[in-house]
């Protein structure tokens, strides 16, 4: 049976990721039970490491986007790098945002490389398939997350064959040098991994921390929407909603300390959160006042998702039931998002009635019973505008607004989305050129990668 010395492997993996983290991982001693791979259960345990696999998403989009603002004091007391990110200043303190996702990607690659050498019983065939599908899914999911921060947008990009994407590490051989792929190659790999994963995964995973077919269809719908491939996004939205179409009735929720437990059970199909983003915690992120006023008084999201602090709205619609804003971004797959993906696709295909049907199906579950007036539109463009506004209102703290700003600013003609920050007597405006994070110093100096 093939055996791998994981102590040496894990210790060496991150030499390719970051100079700053080298000593940390060289000194680390993994659980002795994971120093060798002997059976499928060993591989499953690698993928079930929740604090690594499900809590490392590069979720900085909520700091970069326009849902929140911070007072001068909030930012003064915050991490310098996060302050710079919020004002779109070039900042190379991105090592955790880079290292943590690639640690998950390397774990997925180890599983994929070891799997062919692991013996299994015929009764374990579905488990083997599920392990393989999960590893492929996770690799694609983290590639996608990295691309939203470190690569140019894909949609309507005439230079996607030459614009730099991200390094696509596809095996666990640390001696293999991997350069940055193009934007086109990056998205092609993401799509390919998701498509390969889908038939291997079950419809109903044992735990929401594990991906299933539905999560894969949802991820494909999201990715194709990001790419501007609306027919494909519609196709996978339909496949997702044929499996998962339940929405939580907000009339059955209360603005208590744990307001979203029922929603978690019905709408969350795959759990993923970011690493800690300290500036998003407590009372620091104030919700944009224009956004808050856009909620109708009969819209239950206004009381369930928000609370007031010194006259300012604070978002608290987190899936951990927190009464204050948590320090995480919630980046999993949710049914409400897929309804909005499909509605947008319908609107862009001039299928106005279908777009409004999906929008109204979602919103009737959010309003006080009997007080929701179904949306109408004068044409498909009007329907699209309504869908896009509801994406902003419904999908807070998902990291998706940043992706929306990137893609919508790249679709002509469009009303340009250019947030402005007024901080410390200075005014900062989102640059015309897509704002990309700088690669960490270690990736440049040690990995030889080209900087953004």
**Structural domains counted in the chain:** 2
Q: Is residue 191 part of a domain?
A: yes
- How far is 299 from 372, CA to CA, in rounded Å? 8
Q: What is each CA distance from 450 to 150, 174, 180, 241, 286, in whole angstroms?
A: 12, 19, 8, 41, 36
- pTM score > 0.75 for this model? yes
Q: Is residue 225 part of a domain?
A: yes
- CATH (domain of 169): 1.25.40.390
Q: Is residue 276 part of a domain?
A: no
Q: Which domain holds residue 355?
A: 210-270+282-326+333-397
In this structure, are 193 and 298 located in the same domain?
no
Question: What pLDDT is recorded for position 235?
Answer: 99
Neighbour tally for 384: CB within 10 Å: 19
Q: Is residue 448 part of a domain?
A: yes
Question: What pLDDT is recorded for position 420?
Answer: 92
Q: Is residue 85 part of a domain?
A: yes
- Residues sharing a CB contact under 8 Å with residue 381, sequence separation 6 or more, in sequence order: 347
Q: Is residue 30 part of a domain?
A: yes
In this structure, are 168 and 147 located in the same domain?
yes
Question: What pLDDT is recorded for position 225?
Answer: 98
In this structure, are 301 and 426 located in the same domain?
no
Q: Is residue 162 part of a domain?
A: yes
Question: What pLDDT is recorded for position 432?
Answer: 85
Question: What pLDDT is recorded for position 31?
Answer: 42
In this structure, are 242 and 147 located in the same domain?
no
In this structure, are 143 and 39 located in the same domain?
yes
In this structure, are 295 and 385 located in the same domain?
yes
Q: Is residue 204 part of a domain?
A: no
In this structure, are 2 and 138 located in the same domain?
yes
Tokens 């948590």 appear where?
Answer: 326
Question: What pLDDT is recorded for position 276?
Answer: 83
Max intra-chain CA distance, the chain:
68
In this structure, are 191 and 234 located in the same domain?
no
In this structure, are 190 and 227 located in the same domain?
no
In this structure, are 244 and 347 located in the same domain?
yes
In this structure, are 309 and 388 located in the same domain?
yes
Question: What pLDDT is recorded for position 319?
Answer: 61
- How far is 23 from 123, CA to CA, in rounded Å? 42
In this structure, are 262 and 316 located in the same domain?
yes
Question: What pLDDT is recorded for position 312?
Answer: 86
Per-residue pLDDT of the chain (452 residues; tens, 9 = 90+): 444 455 344 434 443 443 333 333 323 333 434 568 999 999 999 999 999 999 999 989 999 999 988 889 888 888 899 989 999 999 999 999 999 999 999 999 999 999 999 999 999 999 999 999 999 999 999 999 999 999 999 988 889 999 999 999 999 998 889 999 999 999 999 999 999 999 999 998 999 999 999 999 999 999 999 999 999 999 999 999 999 999 999 998 876 655 555 566 789 999 999 988 888 887 888 898 899 999 999 999 998 888 888 888 888 766 655 545 578 889 999 999 999 999 999 999 999 999 999 999 999 999 999 999 999 999 999 999 999 999 999 999 899 999 999 999 988 666 678 899 998 889 999 998 889 999 999 999 988 999 99
């Amino acid at each position: 049976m093939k055996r791998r010395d994981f102590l040496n492997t894990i210790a060496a993996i991150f030499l390719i990721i970051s100079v700053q983290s080298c000593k940390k991982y060289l000194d680390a001693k993994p659980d002795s039970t994971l120093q060798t791979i002997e059976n499928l259960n060993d591989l499953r345990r690698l993928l079930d490491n929740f604090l690594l696999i499900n809590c490392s998403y590069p979720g900085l989009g909520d700091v970069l986007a326009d849902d929140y603002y911070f007072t001068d004091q909030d930012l003064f007391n915050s991490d310098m790098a996060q302050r710079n990110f919020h004002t779109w200043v070039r900042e190379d303190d991105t090592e955790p945002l880079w290292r943590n996702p690639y640690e998950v990607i390397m774990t997925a690659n180890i599983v994929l490389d070891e799997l062919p050498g692991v013996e299994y019983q015929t009764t374990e065939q579905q488990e083997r398939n599920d392990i393989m599908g999960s590893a492929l899914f996770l690799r694609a999911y983290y590639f996608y997350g990295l691309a939203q921060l470190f690569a140019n947008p894909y949609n309507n990009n005439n230079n996607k064959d030459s614009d730099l994407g991200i390094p696509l590490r596809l095996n666990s051989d640390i001696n293999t040098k991997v350069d940055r792929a193009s934007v086109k190659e990056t998205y092609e790999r993401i799509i390919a991994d998701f498509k390969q994963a889908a038939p291997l995964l079950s419809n109903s995973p044992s735990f929401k921390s594990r991906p299933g077919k539905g999560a894969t269809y949802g991820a494909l719908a999201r990715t194709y929407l990001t790419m501007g491939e609306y027919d494909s996004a519609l196709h996978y939205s339909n496949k997702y909603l044929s499996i998962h179409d339940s929405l939580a009735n907000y009339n059955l929720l209360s603005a208590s300390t744990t307001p979203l437990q029922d929603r978690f059970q019905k709408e969350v199909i795959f759990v993923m959160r970011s690493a800690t983003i300290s500036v998003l915690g407590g009372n620091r992120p104030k919700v944009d006042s224009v956004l808050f006023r856009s909620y109708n008084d009969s819209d239950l999201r206004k009381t369930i998702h928000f609370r007031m602090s010194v006259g300012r709205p604070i978002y608290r619609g987190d899936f951990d039931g927190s009464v204050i804003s948590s320090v995480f971004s919630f980046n999993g797959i949710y049914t409400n998002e897929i309804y909005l993906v499909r509605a947008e696709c319908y609107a862009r295909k001039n299928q106005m009635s279908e777009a409004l049907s999906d929008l109204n199906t979602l919103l009737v579950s959010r309003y006080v019973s009997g007080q929701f007036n179904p949306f109408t539109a004068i044409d498909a463009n009007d329907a699209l505008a309504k869908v896009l506004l509801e994406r902003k209102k419904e999908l807070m703290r998902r990291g998706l607004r940043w992706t929306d700003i990137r893609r919508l600013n790249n679709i002509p003609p469009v009303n340009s989305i250019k947030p402005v920050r007024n901080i410390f007597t200075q005014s900062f405006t989102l640059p015309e050129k897509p704002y990309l994070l700088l690669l960490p110093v270690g990736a440049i100096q040690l990995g030889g990668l080209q900087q953004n």
